[in-house]
Amino acid sequence: MEKYNIHETPQDDYLFQRIFASKGNEDMLAEILEDLLDIKINNIEIKNEFTLEKIYQEEKSSRIDIKVVADNRIIDIEMQIKNEYNMKDRSLYYGAALYHEALEEGIDYKDSKEVIVISILSFNLFKNGNYLVRGRIMRDDIKDEVITDKLSFYYIQLPKFLKQKDKKRKKLAQWLYFISQRDKGELEMAVKENEKIARAEKLREEAVANEQAKRMLWLKEKARFDEMMNKRGAYLKGEKKGKMEIAKKMLDRGMTIEEIADITGLSKKEITKKVS
């Protein structure tokens, strides 16, 4: 079986942001959003641009967000690797927070921007149905009547997508093959047919190599630091042993515990323990 490391795919927080939230890559997000939402985007702005290379950490976060303003829409895009069993509630929180944030700028309710929360999931959230789930605030008494079109939610379940093979949304499907990195045949075809995905794949490969290089440097630095601390620990252990021997001689010569503690820097408890 082919080796698969999820942290070498755009499902990883660092790689997802490095590719999609960097200045100059707005056209990539626009292509995904246009096919997903079935809209034409004239202007798109990434609000939380990724600008600094991440310092390697042993514990990686399993979730990230990219905030985008596309024409008159505020869009939150989230990549979630691990099922923390709070996805639906968290999506609602993000959507409500973004809507409230926009209103705080003094905008009238009728002029408020549409808020869309998009969650790309490395697991299946819904047992039944399609890989792509859209949710809105609807009436209970009249079927299909929307209470408001200002807040909507999209869930993209990658495991289901890889089984269902979406033929209707070609651009979106290409990007999902790229994000998942599971179907090499489809990915290679997407790279050949779509220059944006070819560019994104090159960025991914460079970022993976960069992360691996940083990890090697981090491991070397950690080994150097561990060696230094081990030597210091051995020195301090030997130093303390020497002080204890001196304290014993001082005690034998009749010096008080207070005097010995003052001279050696040992605690009274350590000296008393030595006596006993």
User: Residue 30: what pLDDT?
Assistant: 97
pLDDT of residue 207: 84
The whole-number pLDDT of residue 230 equals 60
pTM beyond 0.85: the answer is no
Q: What is the pLDDT of residue 105?
A: 65
Q: What angle do CA 7, 164, 33 make, to 5 degrees?
A: 65
In sequence order, the 6+-apart residues with CB closer than 8 A to the CB of 191 are: 178, 197, 198, 201
Can you say how many angstroms the Cα of residue 55 is from the centroid of all Cα atoms in its chain? Answer: 13
Q: What is the mean pLDDT of each run of 10 residues along the chain (276 residues)?
A: 77 88 93 97 86 40 74 94 92 92 80 94 96 96 93 97 92 97 96 97 89 59 63 58 78 81 80 65
pLDDT for 1 equals 42
According to the model, what pLDDT value does residue 270 have?
Answer: 81
So what's the pLDDT on residue 10?
94
Query: pLDDT value at position 11?
Result: 93
Dihedral sign, Cα of residue 32, residue 33, residue 35, residue 41: negative
